Structure 1
């Protein structure tokens, strides 16, 4: 006679294992969804999304986002040690992070291109003066200390020029502004050049939202130096921003020597900027300083984007690139030494 069944045997639920394949698919779907979100933030320029808002604003911080993404990858790898099935997440994020890093890293490596042997040096100074609010005495003192050949001063019209010119003239500089005293400083550009360049010609261009000013002749010869300022890519002005930057192409691709210096409100991560400046070299990237943020000054330099640039057509090559603080401005000033052919 057999023993009666145990009371719990009839009530014990039958355990059914969840299909492993389904769990694996869900795990990968989650990882790929996270990677797609990361790619939209870090790599929108690869498919042209950075030409529109909000990607035009977000992509300016790609170096910072890549660094943050690499931290998440490390954290994910640590989690994988304790939960091995989590590994698709750090793997997918690592792919996005490595592509982003590959796009950013070259700017930290000085170019191997050698400057033209025996060519003269030209020192360029750029200082956005924040709607004419930067301290003119401090700016003049910095210009005196650095002794640049040419100076580009975005967000400076005739009003700010009237403050700066009397300070620079005793040092041997002359100035010109792209807008008159009836216009706000934020809409203008001022250029200054050393007397040692002789009699130069000035030309104001109104093809951009903020009129630029160009000098040539004298000691510059056929070289054109342009003080430039693009409108910022805020949501309502992205189309104007793209139009402003497209104007840079006429200097970079003309075949004539040119240096364009100022506030472009764009970084090398913007495809619009890269397309417009094809044919020009960026002084910061050429010297391995392509991640030195120029805005805003209240943030550490490694956080802010580099939106101020000194561009030059080949074979003009940058030998040095540095930044300085100017009291009252939200931009760091740029000092670059270029070697002319």
Structure 2
């Protein structure tokens, strides 16, 4: 009795249409691509509301540049190992999406051609440790109409006021000298604005202070400071940013200036300021870093802002250095319609 004919197909297992090596390459590429997206694009799915993504996303401009360099290096690798190509392709896709979200802040909107100027200065004085003489000198040089000073309570105000009163400025703080400076905001205004009135707003952990009247008319100017999105305060940070909407969406003119501890890369910030224009972004200076001061301006995030609504537009925006604080001062000239 003869043996049955041998059929190779029945003895050899079917070959996978996706070889193991190819699966490994694509698996590596997907892991790297998803890792890059988690760092650069968490706001697209709302992860930036939580720690640590709230911190990482603030550095999206810097990380996008780093990823672009990595993509170039990965492309060079493919000249020697062509099978490596899925890695640079997926990383390049993430970099392109991130770049499309970052680069518009370098494009200036048309400059305002009319309206009354209002010059605004804001500086977080780092728990009242900034050099008051240097801040007074900056106010003397820039001659702003109104100034927002986060992390400045009655103690720091008492240092600053005698230095700028001879320049024609008045001040008010949201907390007394008995409270730590970090909990307060101070507003200073030029006598050019006349009879300005102030009131404390207690809707945020660091009490804001609002200035109205006099030369401001019906405009509300708010010296603002949000808590930082640390693990134990990220919920309060979300709450603080949420309060900004009341000014940006209001039917009356408003300018909100100070330290928001958030950049344009945070989805919560973008939502909160819907209805407002950001002086940095609208003048093409939206990538000037305001924190920390030890990093070059191109490296740090812009977490200090001057916002305005109701057709109030920015003519200029810049940053200035003041000793003793980890924030840069921001200065903008706005045009009131």
What is the TM-score with the length of structure 2 in the denominator?
Answer: 0.94
Corresponding residue to 2:56 among 38, 55, 58: 58
The partner residue of 1:154 within 139, 147, 150 is 150
Alignment match, 2:284: 288
The whole-number CA distance in structure 1 between the counterparts of 2:312 and 2:16 is 66
Alignment of 1:54-203 (within 5 A): 54-112=52-110, 114-115=111-112, 117-203=113-199
1:28 Cα deviation after fit:
1.2
1:211 aligned to 2:239? no
Residues in 2 aligned to 1:46 and 1:118: alpha-carbon distance in whole angstroms: 37
Tell me what 2:6 maps to. Answer: none
Distance 2:274 2:108 in 1: 19
Report the secondary structure of 2:232's partner residue.
helix
Provide the rounded CA distance (Å) in 2 between the counterparts of 1:67 and 1:316: 32
Residue among 321, 324, 335 paired with 1:328: 324
Question: How many angstroms does 1:23 deviate by?
Answer: 2.0
For 1:178 and 1:37, the matched residues in 2 are separated by 43
Quote the residue 1:27 is aligned against. 25
Unaligned 5+ segments in structure 1 are 1-16
How far apart are residue 241 of structure 1 and its match? 0.3
Aligned residues: 323
Tell me by how many angstroms 1:19 deviates.
7.8
Q: Deviation per CA, 1:187-240, whole angstroms, max 9, x where unpaired?
A: 000000000101011110000000000001110001010000000111100000
RMSD of Structure 2 on Structure 1 (CA): 1.2
Structure-2 separation of matches of 1:41 and 1:198: 48
Question: Distance between the aligned counterparts of 1:20 and 1:201, measured in 2?
Answer: 72
Cα shift at 1:118: 3.0
User: Shift in Å at residue 33 of structure 1?
Assistant: 1.3
SS in 2 for 1:236: coil
Query: Normalization by structure 1: what TM-score?
Result: 0.93
Are the aligned partners of 2:251 and 2:310 in contact in 1 as well (CA < 8 Å)? Answer: no
TM-superposed deviation, 1:254 = 1.0
- Segments of structure 2 that go 5 or more residues without pairing to the other structure are 1-14
The CA deviation string for residues 231-267 of structure 1, in whole angstroms up to 9 with x for no partner, is: 0111100000000000000000012100000000000
- For the 8 Å contact 2:125–2:324, the answer to whether it is kept is yes
| Partner residue, 1:241 | 237
How many angstroms apart in 2 are the aligned matches of 1:249 and 1:319? 23
Q: Tell me if the contact between 2:290 and 2:319 (Cα under 8 Å) persists in the aligned partners.
A: yes
- Counterpart-to-counterpart distance in 1, 2:103 and 2:141: 32
Q: 2:303 aligns with which of 301, 304, 307?
A: 307
Q: Secondary structure at the match of 2:79?
A: helix
In the aligned structure 2, how far is the partner of 1:56 from the partner of 1:85?
Answer: 36
Residues 211 and 220 of structure 2 are in contact (CA less than 8 Å); yes or no, is this contact kept in structure 1?
yes
- The aligned counterpart of 2:5 is none
- Give CA-to-partner distance per residue, 1:43-100, whole Å, 9 cap, x none: 0000000001110111111111111111110000000011111000000000000000
Partner of 2:336: 340
- Report what 1:14 is aligned to: none
